[in-house]
Amino acid sequence: MSRQASRLDAKKVNSEFLTLTYGALVTQMLRDFENVDDVNKQLERIGYNMGMRLIEDFLARTSAPRCLEMRETADRIQQAFRIYLNVQPTISNWSAASDEFSLLFDTNPLTEFVELPSDLSNLRYSAILSGCIRGALEMVQLEVQSWFVQDQLKGDNVTELRVKFVRRLEEAIPAGED
């Protein structure tokens, strides 16, 4: 029997399994909350939590040294997208002060099959991604803001995720130590 499905590409199946499960979560939330903004917030929150966990795996996997400036951070984020979602966003649109940049995606695996109904134009379907970046960076003492500037789901040519440096956080001192 197993000869039948062996033709299926395991990597593709993994990615589709993730995409479909995420889609099921988004539609469930739309049933649970009346307000689309609440759904956006929840998705961002879930991404934030996931980012906090994924960064540990990322650091262990890449044994990456500490980033000293945003340009290094941008490269690491790009690398993380390649490792975890098998996509390679382009880094661009740096601000003059080098504290703000964009990640441009030609494809977004999360939205591969999605066609947004017209009444959901304010849904930030992929909000989990911006949440993930925020959560992961907070674990390495970087507070950032992250939001979508363009989205292919809304008819834009690319999906653009903006990341802005806010401040460095103090090392958290473990409780019980002076």
Provide the binding-site residues for another protein, judged by CB under 8 A: 1-2, 4-5, 7-8, 10-11, 13-29, 32, 42, 46, 49-50, 53-54, 57, 61, 83-86, 112-117, 120
Distance between CA 82 and CA 11 in Å, rounded?
Answer: 13
**Shortest distance (Å) from residue 139 CB to another protein:** 13
Strand arrangement, sheet containing 159-168 = 90-92, 100-105, 159-168, 142-150
Shorter beta-carbon distance to another protein: residue 1 or 175: 1
Shorter beta-carbon distance to another protein: residue 131 or 165: 131
**Shortest distance (Å) from residue 69 CB to another protein:** 26
**Are 134 and 145 contacting, i.e. CB atoms less than 8 angstroms apart?**
yes
Shorter beta-carbon distance to another protein: residue 116 or 149: 116
**Shortest distance (Å) from residue 71 CB to another protein:** 24
**Shortest distance (Å) from residue 126 CB to another protein:** 13
Beta bridge partners of 69: none
Could you tell me what percentage of the chain is helix, strand and coil, using 3-state DSSP and rounding each to the nearest 5? 50, 15, 35
Distance between CA 132 and CA 112 in Å, rounded?
Answer: 19
Instruction: Give the list of residues 6+ apart from residue 68 with CB closer than 8 angstroms, or none.
Output: none
Shorter beta-carbon distance to another protein: residue 11 or 167: 11
Shorter beta-carbon distance to another protein: residue 42 or 165: 42
Q: Measure CA 13 to chain center.
A: 20
**Shortest distance (Å) from residue 55 CB to another protein:** 11
